[in-house]
Chain A
């Protein structure tokens, strides 16, 4: 347990010292990065030791605040979520050391590291606290720290707007969580996590719904996802990587923890998660395809991946409630492993996209092109991440999707209920896989390949050591998990008994059934690399005899090829967007060429979020109209406000005495 207190102390002190070092940006960065790294390394060591030894550690001491106690528990579930949190925090912090240099002397650096450190510490606190009030406090610190990081570039208007959207959305989620925890606590009159449990079917149904909305808002389930595509692009890149890679996973942790609290799962929860997962996954990736802003595109992909995780968990719950252990174990372990995998490849993608954004000064992929030649390391790692997020072997995304698929395949041979659920999961995963591959061919192809489309792209320069080292480490982790899946799946093993009612023996037996396939996947990966080497040797051999000629790209005999004639992101995504236009509602702004000597023509397309446009905006307009009728009540005169307080107190006193 001491490791947790040490690292929380380190994060707190680092934050405070950074805040004081506002005048010395370099020193603040040094303190910030070394503090966060040290804390993260300690945390990783502690989390691994808990996972390997298997026994939960806890600490509890009373606190004078009513219903609150200082109680922490690191069990297998917490430890599993701590691993991606600390791993990505460590690498994002190192990346940040290179990323923030351009703000030296222009913007305060101290607060940036202070909030970064608080964010990491609060995430660790969220997954380890075992008292509802403590949890909510940590949850709120996490929200506020990330809010201040999102609005770091507050001189830009769209950043401030994104911040407000984020703040409102996440607090609506927290409101549901408040009700959730109060309801959980009423049965035994205690808000400690170990006092929760033993609810009737109706109450636990309501509790599950509350958790689904409350935690789902943080996780980014559709239709509660609207803050993600606003907040992630606005934040500095090393922060977006942390928010998208691990902060939204605290929502998934909350749902997993809810399953632990509520005990016997009901089958409709599984259905609900599968439906939400299917919708979030497919719509998330569809919206992503339509985006031209690279960070917005990546943000929508987080919605998609959260959908995949939800489908895995849904399959797991159904497996538990219909007593199909194989389906349950594979669904849960696929979902859990995807939490880890998504943290790695999404962190990688946000960081390498951040390097490009920093080098280019724009988020718009239509302005990029040919950057692979200028930034070879960043480009190669982005392409690795793109293959991993599309679920392609031999990278890590494939492993977790394979486990969920396998669970669904076992489900296919079972009773009709599980059969239908499995078919929907398979259909969802297959659709998502194809769409994600299309989306990332577009993103990496248009950004990194071909000819530079603008001067800025032609002049981009590779980033320095601090920004390259973390993305190389992340890309290698993608490959390592993809090649050695049978080792990584052992991490899930201790978590599974918390989530399902099955015994350890049965779970080990079920996991044993996928060891063989995972070993085959590892062997196939090895053979694949051997084949690649052999093929390259053959080619080198042939070409060394016959020679290589340089030329221009085949242009159909056209004599003046131009970089602007290349296929753009919009044209690449065009057919798919047209096909799915029913969901996307893309707006097209066309100025057609006219006359015999046409001079100007233009085409521009944008795809605003339909949930934001058709549901939230009208609802908020309505609310704002309603509340404006109460304006006479709130006019900014302090004396009147004090009077309100006095009157209210008087009325309460009369009501209590009378």
Chain B
């Protein structure tokens, strides 16, 4: 247990909805609009926590378990990922597997909750979600494995603690490939363009959003908040790689880390603004691209 890491980890529970705000502001800027307030995600969560819920008569306990399991998992996931160079709260060799499979648990229960409604739209979303994760998960795990080979560390905290600007000079290609793979996984896992469009209003074309059509009130608040946390979790892994700050000063470290998180959100916003959403058939190819990048990053290190 890393007590120093508790402070940045604690702040992230408050800061994560801000990332969504930054992305939306970036998109508004590109579109020449004023856009929704920066704190809109906070308002939404607050509002939903003060509403009642409507449950379909078709549903069972599985439907209610989905959002709760999702939120519980993402609380834990946020404690596993390292916040900059201060390390992570829970850190042990192979913790990436716990992270990936915890996210798998959340996905499993969200997909079951979607199927529990008996709606063909939500079944469609669940099917696509599980399909894409089949390719995103290996890309994610192998990308981190490439970093393990590079740094010789087996825990996420250890890996991100030993990244340094020097490493970018000596092993640039590996880091670039891993970075690109992780960014693609981030876009896929967080229902961002070009994989999925969080703003779409047509059920047939949605993936993540369509799975939560029937959730309302506090359940929807949990889902929104866990999406914010998920963006944070994947954001930290990309940000820590792009800006490996290893100064001794904890406060400075955290500031740099927060800045790089904001940067990742801006980049996500830019990608969303300048790209169109891919056709569903193309998405597996994109994810295979991510997987190939991770494998290439590993193959560069065979010696």
Contact = CB atoms under 8 A, between A and B. Distances in A.
Interface string A640-651: 000000000000
B102 interface: yes
Contacts of B130: 434, 437-438, 441-442, 576
Interface in B66-98: 68-69, 71-73, 75-76, 90, 92-95, 97-98
Nearest to B68: A535
Contacts of B133: 434, 437-438
Contacts, number: 248
30 contacts: A390-B104, A406-B97, A410-B93, A416-B302, A420-B302, A433-B104, A434-B104, A435-B134, A438-B130, A446-B115, A450-B116, A450-B123, A531-B75, A532-B68, A532-B72, A536-B68, A539-B64, A539-B68, A542-B50, A550-B56, A551-B57, A553-B59, A555-B119, A566-B118, A566-B120, A567-B124, A567-B126, A573-B127, A575-B128, A576-B131
Contacts of B95: 517, 520
B92 A549 contact: no
Contacts of B160: none
A433 B137 contact: yes
Contact of B56 (A370, A551, A574): A551
A176 interface: no
Contacts of B121: 554, 556
Nearest to A546: B52
Contacts of B142: 423, 426-427, 430
Interface string B95-126: 10110111011011001100111111111101
Contacts of A406: 93-94, 97, 154
Contacts of A409: 93-94, 145, 148, 154
Nearest to B123: A567
A431 B288 CA distance: 12
A434 B154 contact: no
A356 to B, nearest CB: 15
Interface stretch (B3-11, B166-174, B212-220): B212-220
B181 to A, nearest CB: 13
A365 to B, nearest CB: 12
A426 B214 CA distance: 37
Interface residues of A, number: 82
A392 interface: yes
Given A387-B105, A434-B135, A520-B95, 7 more contacts: A402-B97, A430-B137, A445-B111, A451-B118, A514-B93, A551-B55, A553-B59
Contact of A393 (B102, B137, B141): B102
Nearest to B136: A434
A630 interface: no
Nearest to B52: A546
A553 B58 contact: yes
A574 B295 CA distance: 27
Contacts of A548: 52-55
Nearest to B203: A556
B52 A549 contact: yes
A543 interface: yes
Contact of B94 (A402, A438, A546, A551): A402
Contacts of A538: 218
Q: Which one of B112, B124, B301, B302 has the greatest number of beta carbons of chain A within 10 Å?
A: B112
A633 interface: no
Q: Which one of B123, B137, B222 has the greatest number of beta carbons of chain A within 10 Å?
A: B123
Given A419-B302, A441-B126, A543-B53, A392 B101 contact: yes
Contacts of A543: 52-53, 217-218
B303 interface: yes
A575 B154 CA distance: 35
Interface string A161-191: 0000000000000000000000000000000
A611 to B, nearest CB: 22
A398 interface: yes
Contacts of A435: 134
Interface string B41-55: 000000001111111
A451 B58 contact: yes
A268 interface: no
B34 interface: no
A563 interface: yes
Q: Which one of A431, A451, A553 has the greatest number of beta carbons of chain B within 10 Å?
A: A553
Contacts of B126: 441, 445, 567, 572
Q: Which one of B116, B142, B295, B301 has the greatest number of beta carbons of chain A within 10 Å?
A: B116
A166 B160 CA distance: 53
B153 to A, nearest CB: 9
Contact of A441 (B53, B108, B117): B108
B55 A567 contact: no
Contacts of A523: 90
A591 interface: no
A571 B123 contact: yes
Nearest to B121: A556
Contacts of B116: 445, 449-450
